[in-house]
Amino acid sequence: MTIETTQTPNFIRAIIEEDLASGKHKTVITRFPPEPNGYLHIGHAKSICINFGLAGDFGGRCHLRFDDTNPAKEEVEYAESIKESVRWLGFDWGEHLYYASDYFEQLYQWGEQLVRQGDAYVDDLSADEIRAYRGTLTETGKESPYRNRSADENLELFRRMRAGEFPDGSRVLRAKIDMSSPNLNLRDPVMYRILHAPHPHAGEKWCIYPMYDYAHGQSDSIEGITHSICTLEFEDHRPLYDWFLDRLGIYPPRQYEFARLNLTYTVMSKRKLLQLVQDGDVRGWDDPRMPTLVGLRRRGYTPDAIRSFCERIGVGRSDSWIDMSILEESVREDLNERAPRAMAVLRPLKLVIDNYPEDLVEEFTVANHPQKPEAGSRTIPFCREVWIETDDFLEEPPKGFHRLAPGQEVRLRYAYIVRCTGVVRDGAGNVIEVRCSYDPDTHTGGPAAGRKVKGVIHWVSALHAIEAEVRLYDRLFTEPNPAGDEWKSFVNLHSVEILTSCRLEPSLKEAAPESRYQFERQGYFCVDAKDSTPGKPVFNRTVTLRDSWAKLDKGDQGNSKA
């Protein structure tokens, strides 16, 4: 599948254009290299769009490679989810699916080469001792007492490590670089650790596993990557990658770093996202409140909206925070174009039209999308009793309240003008029913069809409505930047409200999973693909019609012409 992009200028695109023009590269080969230790989130979407998008724009290719060097945290479930999410975003790696674990033998042989060259050694220090010897940003490191073993001794120990003769954590293979380097990544980094554990992809062949920093650059080299694109936190790792490539004498891909996505009111750390799942703050990785791609998909976000968002925020080298409202506005704009309209009453209040014939049922034909005739139309039944929103009626309305109140008129959307004549109360004095009269001449085609009233409210026929569950999702955190050790204290305890007695127009009864609608005057909603059953849809609110968090009321965006 080819995804069209706007080809917005950025520094990486400029580099590629120069490389192709100079003949440095004849084609463009990028890669998206996730670790299969969690589900992809919106930050990964930015990287996916950059890597696949640039390769596609220049007629090249993008590899999907799993950098699966740590079997203790990796699962097949994560790998399969990653593949599905990349496809869902609209990208395809074709035949170019790779695993770093497929290169384990080559990586091991290169490890032996570095040992023979005197560029690597086996260290018996514990993990805590290695950390202590490493030093700090202000203090240089200290050399391990095992650093000057002979190449022959190191080679024998490294081979015995591979043979499984030593327990976990007893030895590591380290690169011999510079313990006084101002770059901590060059202070004899660990290349291999002992871990007697099966690997999700490689099986039980290995009991030593390469570290990410050792495997990453060589994997790019094996695949012939022309432009190795990653986020800024790997900038300090680039000298290490280059050191390995230089010592091994193999093709050196060039790495380019861009600013990662920092999005307000959420977290992007897979560790923190996993903790939210494990602690029960959310209902799994695909909870619609999560910034994961499976969560956003379940909430109703479209691939087009996410790609548009990634294009909108651009590619730069300066770290910054992107406000959640930009992501929300991207999906509003997309759904305003594609989502058919429907009427749904989320907090129902019965309205009875006393002068409407009791046995009469009318059907009104209305457009599925007010600006798209090609979207077709549907029929909505109307009868004497309808459901309206509880908030659309007030007994003592404030000034400027243009909805329903005693003696006040409103138009029932697509139907008639009604006037409130009274109410019915329960034993506690609560209003449980609104009584009205209607003007039969005010429907389309009637002699008074053009009569104006200030208020228009939506409704559904009480006789024909379907009952459904609707979940109103909000932002997962109450603070824009939930950082620090107390980040969990900012979890929004009101980030979801579940309404179980909503009334929807009957056309929604068989709504397909993941189908999206604009509920008029309410927002954009999506049929939950996990909890819906045939004839009983569950709807998730994707986003409100306007930014309810904004200080200024911008109006009903996306519904101004509905």
| Contact in structure between 521 and 545 (CB atoms under 8 Å) | yes
Can you say how many angstroms the Cα of residue 401 is from the centroid of all Cα atoms in its chain? Answer: 39
| Residue of 31, 149, 247, 270 marked catalytic | 270
Residue 117 CA to residue 351 CA, distance in Å, equals 86
| Residue of 73, 134, 159, 260 marked catalytic | 260
| Contact in structure between 380 and 542 (CB atoms under 8 Å) | no
User: Residue 4 has what DSSP assignment?
Assistant: P
* Residue entry with tokens 């696949």: 52
Q: 3-class DSSP state for residue 402?
A: coil
Instruction: Tokens for 345, please give them.
Output: 């009453």
Residue 263 CA to residue 481 CA, distance in Å, equals 8
Instruction: Tokens for 333, please give them.
Output: 């704009």
Residue 541 CA to residue 548 CA, distance in Å, equals 13
Residue 163 CA to residue 456 CA, distance in Å, equals 77
Residue 78 CA to residue 261 CA, distance in Å, equals 21
Instruction: Write out the E strands in 170-219.
Output: 172-175, 190-194, 208-210
544: β partners:
523
Cα 37 to Cα 70, 270, 283, 330, 560, distances in angstroms: 9, 8, 18, 29, 44
Residue 34 CA to residue 219 CA, distance in Å, equals 13
Active site residue 260: yes
| Residue of 35, 329, 389, 520 marked catalytic | 35
* Residue entry with tokens 């009569």: 451
Judged on CB neighbours under 10 Å (0-12, 13-18, 19+), 543 is buried
Q: Most distant CA pair in the chain: distance in Å?
A: 102
Instruction: Tokens for 381, please give them.
Output: 């039944």
Listed residue (320, 101, 59) closest to 201, CA to CA: 101
Listed residue (321, 377, 349) closest to 507, CA to CA: 377
Can you say how many angstroms the Cα of residue 363 is from the centroid of all Cα atoms in its chain? Answer: 41
Residues belonging to the active site = 35, 260, 270
